[in-house]
Amino acid sequence: MHPETRKFILENAGRLTVREIAERTGLREKNVRSVLRQAPKDPTPEPSVTSIAPPGTEPSRAVGPVLPWAAALSAAAIAVLVYANALDGSFHFDDTYTIVQNPVIKEAGDLKRLFDQFNARFLTGLTLALNYRLGGLETTGYHAVNVALHAIASALVALLASALMRTPAARPLADRSSGRLLWVAPLAAGALFAAHPLQTQAVNYIWQRAAVMATVCYVGAVWTYVEARLRQDRRWTIAAWTLTVAAMFCKEISLTLPAALVLTELWWFGRPGAFWKERSRALAPFLACLVIIPILLLNRSQSEGIFFVAPAKVEAEAPASGLARLEDFTRWESERNMPRAHYYLTQLNVLRSYLRMIVWPAGQSVVHDYPITTSADLGTALSLALLAAMAAAAWVLRRRAPAVGYGVAWFFLTLSMESLVPLPDVMFEHRLYLPMAGVAVAVALGPAYGRLPLRPLAASALAALTALAVTTHTRNRVWKDEVSLWTDAMKKYPEDPRPYSQLGNHYAEARLPGEAIPYLVKAVELDPRHAKDYANLGGAYFESGRVDEALGQFETAIRLGESAGDRLSVSAAYSNAGNVYSQRGDKQRARQYYLKAVEADPMLFHAYNNLCIVSLDLGDPKAAVEYGRKAVETNPDFPDSHYNLGIAYLRAGRPADARGRLEALTALGRADLAERLDGVIRRS
Q: For the segment 529-587, what is each residue's pLDDT rounded down to a tens digit? A: 999 999 999 999 999 999 999 999 999 999 999 998 889 899 999 999 999 999 999 99
What is the rounded average pLDDT of the residues 613-623? 94
Confidence of residue 30 (pLDDT cuts 50, 70, 90): confident
pLDDT digit string, tens, across residues 627-676 = 999 999 988 889 999 999 999 999 999 999 999 899 889 988 898 999 99
Q: In this predicted structure, what is the pLDDT of residue 406? A: 95
What average pLDDT does range 8-29 have in this prediction? 66
Tell me if 11 sits within 8 A of 24, measured CB to CB: no
- DSSP H stretches of helix in 232-371: 234-247, 257-268, 276-287, 292-298, 322-329, 340-359
Q: 413-436: per-residue pLDDT in tens?
A: 999 998 998 888 999 999 999 999
- pLDDT tens for residues 358-400? 999 999 999 999 999 999 899 999 999 999 999 999 888 887 8
CA distance 673 to 671: 6
Strand, coil or helix: 311: coil
CA atoms 517, 518, 523, 524: torsion sign: positive
Q: Is the pLDDT of residue 177 over 90?
A: no
- 485-535 pLDDT, tens digit each: 999 999 999 999 999 999 999 999 889 999 999 999 999 999 999 999 999
DSSP assignments along 239-274, one per residue: HHHHHHHHHTTT-GGGGGHHHHHHHHHHHHSS-TTT
pLDDT band at 232 (very low <50, low <70, confident <90, very high): confident
Q: Which residues contact 170 (CB under 8 A, 6 or more apart)?
A: 60, 164, 268, 402, 403, 445
Cβ count within 10 A of residue 580: 20
Provide the whole-model pTM.
0.83
Q: Is the predicted pLDDT of residue 18 greater than 80, yes or no?
A: no
Query: Considering only 314-328, 329-343, 491-505, 568-582, which range has the smallest mean pLDDT?
Result: 314-328
Asked if residue 310 has pLDDT above 80, the reply is no
Measured distance CA(581)–CA(677) in Å, rounded: 27
CB 497 within 8 A of CB 532: no
Residues 6+ apart with CB under 8 A from 360: none
State which of 8-22, 70-84, 172-186 shows the largest mean pLDDT: 70-84
Average pLDDT, the chain: 85
pLDDT band per the 50, 70, 90 thresholds, residue 4: low
Whether the pLDDT of residue 44 is over 50: the answer is no
The three-state secondary structure class of 307 is: coil
What DSSP string runs through 548-614? HHHHHHHHHHHHHHHHHT-HHHHHHHHHHHHHHHHHTT-HHHHHHHHHHHHHH-TT-HHHHHHHHHH
> Who wins on pLDDT, 6 or 474?
474
State the DSSP H helix or E strand holding residue 428, giving kind and residue range, or none if neither.
Answer: none
pLDDT digits (tens, 9 = 90+) for 286-299: 999 999 999 998 87
Please give the single-letter amino acid code of residue 433. Y
Q: Assess contact for 202 and 435: CB atoms under 8 A.
A: no
pLDDT tens string 142-156: 999 999 999 999 999
Q: Closest Cα partner for 211 from 119, 154, 146, 161?
A: 146
Burial of 542 (0-12, 13-18, 19+ CB in 10 A): buried
Section 46-67 average pLDDT: 44
Contact 245, 218 (CB under 8 A): no
Greater confidence, 268 or 338?
A: 268
What local confidence, expressed as pLDDT, does residue 424 receive? 85
Asked if the model's pLDDT at residue 306 lies above 90, the reply is no
Proportion of the chain above pLDDT 70, given as a percent: 83
- Residue 366 CB-density burial (10 A; 0-12 exposed, 13-18 middle, 19+ buried): buried
pLDDT for residue 337: 59
- Residue 88's pLDDT is 93
The CA-atom distances, in angstroms, between 436 and each of 266, 312, 363 are 21, 30, 18
Pairwise CA distance, residues 627 & 607, whole Å: 9
